[in-house]
Structure 1
Amino acid sequence: MEFPRSNRRILWSFILFHAIFLSSINPCSPSVFTLKNETDRLALLAFKYGISEDPLGILSSWNDSLHFCKWKGVTCSRRHHQRVTSLNLTGHSLVGHLSPHIGNLSFLRTVNLSSNKFQGEIPREIGRLFRLQILDLDENSLQGEIPSNLSHCSELLAISLTRNQLVGELPAELGSLSKLIFLSVAFNDMRGSIPPSLGNLSSLTTLRLTSNNFDGQIPNQLGQLAGIIIFGIGANQLSGTIPPSIYNLSSIQVFNVVANRLHGSIPPNLGLLFPHLQQISVGVNQFTGTLPISLSNASSLELVDFSSNSFSGHVPLNLGSLLRLYILNIEINQLGSREGDDLSFLTSLTNCTNLKGISTYFNNLSGELPGSIANLSTQLNILNLGENKIFGIIPKEIDNLINLYVLHLGGNSMKGTLPDAIGKLNKLQGLSLRRNKFSGQIPPSIGNITRLIVLRLNGNDFHGSIPSSFGNWGFMEEFFISQNKLNGTILKQVGAIEINLSRNSFTGSLLLEVDNLENIRGMDVSENKLSGEIPDTLGKCQSMELLYMHGNLFQGTIPESLKNLKGIKELDLSGNNLSGQIPKYFEEFHFLQYLNLSFNNFEGEVPKGGIFRNASAISFVGNSKLCGGIPELQLPGCPKQASKKRGKALTHRVKVTVITVVLSSFLLSCIIAALYWRRNSPKKASSPSSTENQWLQVSYADLLQATDGFSSANLIGVGSFGSVYKGLLECFETLVAVKVLNLLQQGAFKSFAAECEALRNIRHRNLVKILTVCSSIDFNGNDFKALVFEYMPNGSLEKWLHPNVDEQPQLRSLNLTQRLNIAIDVASALDYLHHHSKIPIVHRDLKPSNVLLDDDMVAHVGDFGLTRFLSEAAEGFSQNQTTTSGIKGSIGYIPPGKVFNPFF
């Protein structure tokens, strides 16, 4: 934590006063060495020669036309004729090395070369300046170690070496500088432990060792620094606990141990131990326990940072008495009682009129959002209450917070409609309301916030269309409205660096203005109802890295303009109606790591170069007309062109005659064979080998590695035709569920083919998403077939409805709202299968164990091994003229309507 500039000026004034005062009562005695007046002038010239760049011409006055005591930045003593006592060249962008001749300026008391670009090491000759009181080399590019002989400068009051590139250990010898008031080596690359000898610096008021690589424990001896005001050791690698002796330092105003590896608890009476405390930063450690309720006793507190630890319990209700408080950061802890009354402290903070930032992000705070938040300080810039358990609505008086830059309420359980008043927060740059239960239409007034950079409304229940006012934004970086119930067309004026409109019901063509495309890095419009062709304008997105368009109704070929997407990393066009050949220019995409073209109508030869060399990075499932490619894909070979040599010897008429005869004979043979087969052979399912080439996308070895050898520890389910394992598949960089078919079980081959056929024809948010399939042989030469699905972290509905006896009931329970939502999700899936898929489909094995739940408890129907297409069922029914059928699915379970519907 930086020391405030105003306090730093006061401190430096204090140091300079000491320097002047000591000089007056302890005048320097004549040197024992006989020095001529030329000594200092030559030392200054040597210093000048070490400087390679002087962009501001500061040293232009350093010439023979002026006495060296009048050179810029040079001050000489009035008592000791022509002896330099101060060299102050701060902030002049000087580039060069510090000359060792600086050690010849033996009367120097002040060296201030801060805010320049000096390089190289600190000359050891500075240790000869026994009169030196202030050494300020802040903000340069100095390297090497700190000279240990600085301890010879026994008059030193201040050493400031902040923001350089210094390495090595902090010299223990510095502990002998009994007059030292200020020591800062912050923002370097120093290592080793903090010397216990620093505890001997009885005059020290400021210790700043922040942002280095110091390790080990905090020395107990630092508890001897009785006059310490600023104690800064944050952003290192310190471990252990804070020594009890540190809490005896009652003069501390700034206490910074942030970003270390410290553990233990903070004393509940901290506010009494540090009554003068102004800033406390203990964030990003491993502290436990509760927040000190005594903080209110430190009435001068301005900044409180307890973030990124494991604090628990209530947030103190008396923080409102800290009238100077401007930052409260308690994010990423375990605060909260789960009793629904954890937000009362927000009401008390309305007394803190200087508040600029509040963050309770990622805790367990539960309760209704109090309307009093609208009465918080009008100076408030950041209000981050995201990822808690907050419910209730956003008060319409929210527009009182006129200086808000960031409003984050995402990841809670808030509901209701959004007040139009949000649109009056015209300074807002970040608005996140994601993953709540907000409903209604998105207020058009949000489009009036022209400074908005980040908008996250994803994961709610918004409906209607995108407001036309959303085209007013000047520059948007993140525009996320996925996982809602939005419809209509996508505004072509909407632009951002990252756009996510997935999992809605948008229709029409994808039209985007070229002016809004230049800076796009990622766009996701997947799982909508978009149609038409892929727009040529996407070729203008030369910064594009991620493009997801799967699960729509796009048709036509992949446009040639996409060859301009040289930086693309992931491209998913699966689950559309695209046709034509796979462009060969994909081979030239050197950054492409994932390409999914599954479930389309592509045909022709699969390229073999570039990403097409890696079978685990590409997917073509459900494109039956593809051929060629690398051997690992096991696609059929492409037909070779007929030889032209023989054709040249034949006349055109002979060619036509021969071809006609051959084709006629072939067709006649096929017809005779088909009739014979139909009459003399029973109807059988297609051979597994006829379909397996379509599904093979990852190898047996890949799945073996992903599931740790199909370990029982990763077994998450067992069904009629196989077992399901949890795995980490590197090509998708995510957790997956691998369904391995037991091919010894009768019907397993047919189940595999049926499930593949069903999944290639369906796409819906409430159906389990298939990622790829594998049809291969294992290391023993046996047939191996598996399907790879998106992993559902919350398991099956069966485990929630009927948990095992060894599971804690509170961990496996569903409230009424969740049960209703799951029922709606399953009904939506069935409605899609029966009425909206390309071919009506009957599941035939719907039961709780085949309903899986994701992170957000959204239900997904899975296991299509007994699926039946209504078109083929109807055909069979019309032919057989029967109203009976065998019972399918699990023993003891009959789907509703079974006895009345012959198609099940």
Structure 2
Amino acid sequence: MNSCSVRLFIFPAVIFLLCLSSNEAATCHPDDEAGLLAFKLGITQDPSGILSSWKEGTACCSWSGVGCVTNRVTGLSLSGQSDVNETYLSGTISPSLAKLQHLVGFYFTDLRNITGPFPQFLFKLPQLQQVYITNNGLSGPLPANIGALSQLVELGLDGNRFTGPIPSSISNLTRLFQLNLGNNMLTGTIPVGIAKLNLLLSLNLGGNRLSGTIPDIFKSMTKLQSLTLSRNGFSGSLPRSIASLKPVLLFLDLSQNNLSGTIPIFLSNFKVLDSLDLSRNRFSGVVPTTLANMPKLFHLNLSHNFLNGPVPALKNVDGIATLDLSYNRFNLRTIPKWVTSSPSIYSLKLVKCGISMSFDHWNPVNPNIYYYVDLSENEISGSPARFLNQARNLYEFQASRNKLRFDLGELTNLSERLELLDLSKNMVFGKVPTTVATLQKLNLSYNHLCGKLPVTKFPASAFVSNDCLCGSPLPPCKA
């Protein structure tokens, strides 16, 4: 069996079929071999040897990324690693791949430097059902006749440089279960014909340059579980038809747009919604108290809006996992009890939320579950030392611009995972302990620290405006 590195999407049975290589035939069909070798000729760089097994005269069904049924290629899956250098291909996608007439699944993911326009040869593959060309460098417009690929059940073109509008013919892709056009440079509005894609489980148009209002297209999408429209220029209020998704929607991300109005009360009826992100919009008014009735809400981000009033206590029996209410007009006074008592929370961000409590009075149920905490720009007093010494999995802690007052030397047992610590613009005193040297980022500026600095890699800006700190990178200590 050949190596076949594909991500699991919606149809694991089909994916399994694509990954099979025939044991009945010693070689693959000559047309398939010719098409694959011609494609390899169009690759100018392959630093990690993704195509190293592709050698003329060998059985192409055994080549890396090639899947066969009998002696015909049915799946082609080439993948790099987005977070590892030199796991990519450079070059173009040869039209010779049209020779793969039995191809069902086409996956080119995280190859980064594959360039050129949308591959027209895809229109010549009569059995093609799945196309994923993601995180590459394709550019230009999407073809106006993209709807001619009407046999597709999955289409992922995210992470490229496609421009222009979403073609209206996309409404002909009525077999689609998944459509991902995110992270391109698409413009214009959402075609209302997308309402015809009533089998969709996932729709992602995020990270483009789309504009206008979000059309009222969701009433027919009775199966939609994930909707991402973030990082565009959408304006206006949420369309009422989103309420039709309440029985099935698990994930809703509308962040980083220009949406306005109040948060719709109908969101409270979403009984299975796990993640809600409305951040970086222009929502105003109070958070509906009925949001407390959402039993599955695990991730909530309402930051960077104009919201005010109290925040309802969410009643998820498993507790909240991530919460960001930063940069609104809240006056919470304290970290809410329903947050503190959550057994699941790992990310808490309450920047500029009007919190005036003492840190000494904050007793989270389990400090070890926190990964990220940002309580900056409040009026929190007291000492976070106990929490910081107990939180063994903490990556980031930020509490700048508060009224914290404690001896920094109390930080004797910082998490080995801690990468970022920002305590700037407080009233912290004492000496800087050597325990901070292992951090990636540190800001202790504008406090009352004194004494010789330990050896660290941080710039002077991390220590400026303290009472009497000295030593590199600050001026040397006086003898």
Of residues 498, 506, 510, the one that matches 2:470 is 510
User: Of 68, 72, 78, which aligns to 1:90?
Assistant: 78
Please name the residue that 1:490 is paired with. 451
Q: How far 1:263 moved relative to its partner? A: 0.4
Matched with 1:382 is 347
| Corresponding residue of 1:121 | 92
CA positional deviation for 1:84? 2.5
Alpha-carbon distance in structure 2 between the residues aligned to 1:436 and 1:214: 42
Tell me if structure 2 keeps the 8 A contact 1:307–1:331.
yes
What is the match of residue 178 of structure 1? 150
Q: Structure 1 residue 303: deviation in Å?
A: 1.8
Contact 1:450 1:474 in 2 (8 A): no
Aligned in 2, Cα 1:260/1:284: closer, same or farther, shift over 3 Å?
A: same
Count of residue pairs the alignment pairs up: 457
Letter in 1 for 2:373: L
User: Could you report, residue by residue, the CA deviation over 1:719-743 in whole angstroms, capped at 9, with x for unpaired residues?
Assistant: xxxxxxxxxxxxxxxxxxxxxxxxx
Q: What is the DSSP-based 3-state SS (H/G/I as helix, E as strand, rest coil) of the residue aligned with 2:397? A: strand
Q: Offset of 1:116 from its aligned partner?
A: 6.5
The structural deviation recorded for 1:205 is: 1.3
Determine if the alignment matches structure 1 residue 133 to structure 2 residue 99: no
Q: Take 1:144 and 1:221, find their aligned partners in 2: how far apart are those partners?
A: 28
Deviation track 1:843-898 (CA, whole Å, cap 9, x = no partner) reads xxxxxxxxxxxxxxxxxxxxxxxxxxxxxxxxxxxxxxxxxxxxxxxxxxxxxxxx
TM-score (norm 1): 0.46
Change (3 A) 1:121 1:70: closer
- Match in the other structure for 1:9: 8
Pairing 1:473–2:436 present: yes
Q: After superposition, what is the alpha-carbon deviation per residue over 1:112-171, rounded to whole angstroms, capped at 9, x for unaligned?
A: xxx973433323344465543222222222211113453333432111111110011111
Distance 1:68 1:428, change over 3 A: closer
Tell which structure's C-alpha radius of gyration is larger.
1
Please show how residues 157-196 of structure 1 align to structure 2 within 5 Å: 157-196=129-168
Give the Cα–Cα distance (whole angstroms) in 1 for the partners of residues 69 and 335 of structure 2.
66
In structure 2, what residue type is equivalent to 1:137?
F
Q: Show the counterpart of 1:304.
A: 276
CA deviation string 1:548-591 (max 9, x = no partner): xxxxxx99xxxxxxxxxxxxxxxxxxxxxxxxxxxxxxxxxxxx
Partner of 2:386: 420
Would you say the 8 A contact 2:368–2:393 is kept in 1?
yes
Q: 1:472 to 1:272 in 2, by over 3 A?
A: same
> Structure 2 length as normaliser, TM-score?
0.82
| In structure 1, C-alpha distance between the alignment counterparts of 2:50 and 2:262, rounded to whole Å | 57
Q: CA deviation at 1:193?
A: 0.4
Give the whole-Å Cα distance in 2 for the aligned partners of 1:446 and 1:367.
28
After TM superposition, give the deviation of residue 497 of structure 1 in Å: 1.9
Partner-residue secondary structure (3-state), 2:235: strand
Distance in 2 (alpha carbons) for counterparts of 1:92 and 1:364: 44
Deviations 1:672-731 (A, max 9, x none): xxxxxxxxxxxxxxxxxxxxxxxxxxxxxxxxxxxxxxxxxxxxxxxxxxxxxxxxxxxx
The offset of 1:68, in angstroms, is 5.7
Q: Can you give the 5+ residue segments of structure 1 that lack an aligned partner in the other structure? A: 1-6, 21-35, 94-114, 518-522, 524-533, 538-553, 556-904
Match of 2:366 among 400, 408, 418: 400
Q: What is the identity, as a one-letter code, of the residue corresponding to 1:495?
A: T
Q: Are residues 1:230 and 2:208 paired?
A: no
Letter in structure 2 aligned against 1:134 = G
Superposition deviation, residue 77 in structure 1: 5.2
Within 2, Cα distance between the matches of 1:417 and 1:70?
A: 62
Task: Provide the C-alpha distance between the structure 2 equivalents of 1:251 and 1:471, rounded to a whole number of angstroms.
Answer: 55
Instruction: Determine if the alignment matches structure 1 residue 286 to structure 2 residue 258.
Output: yes
**Partner letter of residue 147 of structure 1?**
P
Gaps of 5+ in 2: 1-5, 20-27
Per the alignment, do residues 283 and 68 of structure 1 end up closer, same or farther by CA in structure 2, a change over 3 Å counting? closer
| Structure 1 residues 602-656: Cα deviation after superposition (integer angstroms, max 9, x where no partner) | xxxxxxxxxxxxxxxxxxxxxxxxxxxxxxxxxxxxxxxxxxxxxxxxxxxxxxx
Offset, 1:189: 0.6
Partner of 2:249: helix, strand, or coil? Answer: coil
Instruction: Pick closer, same or farther for the CA change 1:45–1:296 going to 2, 3 Å.
Output: same
**Stretch moving more, 291-300 or 192-201:** 291-300
| Secondary structure in 2 matching 1:280 | strand
User: What SS does structure 2 have at the residue aligned with 1:473?
Assistant: helix
- Tell me what 1:100 maps to: none
Q: Which digits, 9 at most, give the CA deviation of each residue in 1:370-425, with x for residues without a partner? A: 46156443332211101222222333413623221222111123345557344322
**Contact 1:308–1:331 (8 Å) recurs in 2:** yes
> What's the secondary structure of 1:276's corresponding residue?
coil
Once the two structures are TM-superposed, the CA of residue 86 in structure 1 deviates from its matched residue by 3.3
- Paired residues of 1:127 and 1:147 also in contact (CA < 8 A): no
* Contact kept? 1:366, 1:389, Cα under 8 Å: yes
Code of the residue aligned with 1:119 in structure 2: it is S
Q: Deviations over 1:307-347 (max 9, x none)?
A: 1111112224444554544422111111113xxxx24x3x4
Conserved? CA contact 1:306–1:329, under 8 Å = yes
1:35-184 aligned at under 5 Å gives the runs 46=38, 53=46, 59=52, 62=55, 64=57, 78=70, 83-86=71-74, 88=76, 90-91=78-79, 117-127=88-98, 129-140=100-111, 141-148=113-120, 150-184=122-156
Per-residue displacement from partner, 1:16-65 (whole Å, max 9, x unpaired)? 48989xxxxxxxxxxxxxxx97555555555566667585597558465x
Q: Secondary structure at the match of 2:140?
A: coil
For residues 409 and 79 of structure 2, the distance between their equivalents in structure 1, rounded to whole angstroms, comes to 49
Distance in 2 separating the partners of 1:185 and 1:456: 39
Alignment deviations for residues 764-813 of structure 1 (CA, whole Å, 9 cap, x no partner) = xxxxxxxxxxxxxxxxxxxxxxxxxxxxxxxxxxxxxxxxxxxxxxxxxx
Contact preservation (8 Å) 1:151, 1:173: no
The percentage of counterpart residues that share the same residue type is 25
For the structure 1 residues 437 and 39, does the alpha-carbon distance in structure 2 shift closer, same or farther, using more than 3 Å as the test? closer
Task: Write out aligned runs for 1:310-459 (5 A).
Answer: 310-337=282-309, 342-343=310-311, 345=312, 347-348=313-314, 351-353=317-319, 355-370=320-335, 372=337, 375-394=340-359, 395-398=361-364, 400-416=366-382, 418=384, 420-438=386-404, 440-442=405-407, 444-451=409-416, 452-459=418-425
| Structural RMSD (CA) | 3.6
Aligned in 2, Cα 1:424/1:250: closer, same or farther, shift over 3 Å? same
CA contact (8 A) 2:218 2:242 kept: no
How far off is 1:72 after superposition?
Answer: 6.0
**SS of alignment partner, residue 282 of structure 2:** coil
Higher helix share: 1
Report the CA distance shift for 1:408/1:268 in structure 2 as closer, same or farther (over 3 A): farther
Taking structure 1 as reference, are residues 327 and 70 closer, same or farther at Cα in structure 2, changes over 3 Å only? closer
The separation in 1 between residues aligned to 2:382 and 2:61, in whole angstroms, is 75
> For 1:37 and 1:405, how far apart are their aligned partners in 2?
53
Q: In the alignment, residue 424 of structure 2 is paired with which amino acid?
A: N
User: CA deviation digits over 1:345-382, x for unaligned, max 9?
Assistant: 3x4256343x4321111111113214615644333221
Over 3 Å counting, the alpha-carbon distance change for 1:260 and 1:14 in structure 2 is farther
Counterpart position of 2:190: 218
Cα 1:430/1:68, change in 2 over 3 Å: closer
Give the whole-Å Cα distance in 2 for the aligned partners of 1:450 and 1:19: 45
CA distance in 1, matches of 2:443, 2:364: 22
**Contact 1:145 / 1:166 at 8 angstroms: preserved in 2?**
yes
Q: CA distance change for structure 1 residues 432 and 399 in 2, over 3 Å: closer, same or farther?
A: farther
